[in-house]
């Protein structure tokens, strides 16, 4: 028995399949890495005993600048 010849894909179809595979891989990687980063940050904050006051003040200052519309000149 002979198998029917496999249809050769055009370069557009090959590119589309590569993109689809890459997007799927990136999604899976994102679902694994983002929670891992969040957990590592949590462990880091927990290990130093909380967030330092200077860091909180800096964050509040940044939020204030963003809400005001940038730095005043």
Q: Quick check: is 61 in a domain?
A: yes
Residue range 7-11: mean pLDDT, rounded: 87
Q: With 90 as the cut, is the pLDDT of residue 36 above it?
A: yes
- Helical ranges in the chain per DSSP H: 11-48, 53-68
Rounded Cα distance between 17 and 2, Å, is: 27
Domain boundaries, position 40: 12-68
Q: Quick check: is 5 in a domain?
A: no
Q: Which pLDDT score is estimated for 1?
A: 65
Q: Quick check: is 1 in a domain?
A: no
User: In the structure encoding, which two tokens stand for residue 54, read together?
Assistant: 């200077």
Q: Quick check: is 4 in a domain?
A: no
**pTM for the full model?**
0.52
Number of domains in the chain: 1
Q: Quick check: is 73 in a domain?
A: no
How does DSSP classify residue 3? P
Residue range 40-55: mean pLDDT, rounded: 86
Q: Quick check: is 7 in a domain?
A: no
């Amino acid at each position: 028995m002979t198998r029917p010849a496999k249809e050769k894909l055009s370069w557009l179809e090959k590119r589309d399949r590569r993109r689809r595979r890459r997007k799927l891989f990136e999604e899976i990687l994102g679902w694994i890495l983002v929670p891992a980063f969040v957990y590592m940050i949590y462990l880091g904050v927990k290990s130093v005993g909380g967030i330092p006051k200077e860091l909180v003040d800096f964050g509040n200052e940044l939020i204030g600048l963003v809400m005001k519309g940038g730095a005043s000149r």
